[in-house]
Amino acid sequence: MSVFASLVEQLADLLQPLFRGSATAAAIVLFTVLVRLAVHPLSRAAARGQKARMRLAPRVAELRRKYAAKDPERLRRAVLELHAREKVSPLAGCLPSLLQAPAFFLMYQLFSGGGMAGHTLLGAPLGGRWTQALADGGPFGAAGLVYAGLYVIVAAVATYTYRRTRREMAGSELPGARLMPLLSFGTLVTVAVVPLAAGLYVVTSAVWTAGERAYLYRDVYGDGPRDTGRNGRRSARPVTGS
């Protein structure tokens, strides 16, 4: 058994007095939070990079207008040089997601392979899937209601993320920019096809991501303090630090 799986078991033992039969499910949620806490410094760095790219967007747009039609290769070099001068990495935002992948696959393999069988969340087997829940008791059975609750949470978070991503991508000239906000609803599909244990990881991580982004980008979208001018009014210029 892997170190991560052993950690989940130890957390479940600690939470047993509080959650009893759902202790393993609670351990998965806590494990997810610990993973996201460990990755949070990278998320902060990714947020700083994203804010820097947003700050550079008008300059990149100007380069596109200047070179896109006549010299695409020069455009590519110019954008890379601009990012290098400003110390902005276009891949920084990918690191937090990449580092979470091993934890997700742990949950998938641990329960899809029959490991820790017999553990449940309010009567729903952690190794089961949504289709099995529908076949066993229907949408209003014990397992079906658990999935219904997860879908309500996922739908709310996905809608929030969709609206926020649309604001972030507004005016973007990146390929697929209009479709990118729709990716937030992919979590609904993921929860439907993976074991419930992996689904819990995905849902908890999605909720964390939404809250984390709201905090890290609060100065960009008016959720937090901004610079004030001489007249005391809040400036519309986003702060680029994190």
Q: pLDDT tens for the chain, 242 residues: list them.
A: 566 677 888 888 899 888 888 888 999 999 889 888 888 887 777 777 777 667 777 777 777 777 666 767 777 777 777 767 766 665 555 656 666 667 667 666 766 655 566 788 888 888 888 888 888 888 888 888 999 999 999 999 988 888 877 776 665 555 555 666 677 888 888 888 888 888 898 899 889 988 988 888 777 655 444 443 334 444 334 443 33
Query: Are 196 and 146 in contact, with CB atoms under 8 Å apart?
Result: yes
Instruction: Give CA–CA dist 155/191, Å, rounded.
Output: 11
Query: Are 48 and 83 in contact, with CB atoms under 8 Å apart?
Result: no
Number of structural domains found in the chain: 1
Residue 53 within any structural domain of the chain:
yes
Q: Hey, CA dihedral for 130, 32, 182, 218, is it positive or negative?
A: positive
Residue 228 within any structural domain of the chain:
no
Residue 233 within any structural domain of the chain:
no
Residue 242 within any structural domain of the chain:
no
Q: Which domain holds residue 82?
A: 3-216
Q: What's the pTM value of the predicted model, to 2 decimals?
A: 0.70
Residue 60 within any structural domain of the chain:
yes
Joined together, the tokens standing for residue 227 give: 């610079």
Residue 54, Cβ neighbours under 10 Å: how many?
15
Residue 109 within any structural domain of the chain:
yes
Instruction: Give CA–CA dist 156/150, Å, rounded.
Output: 10
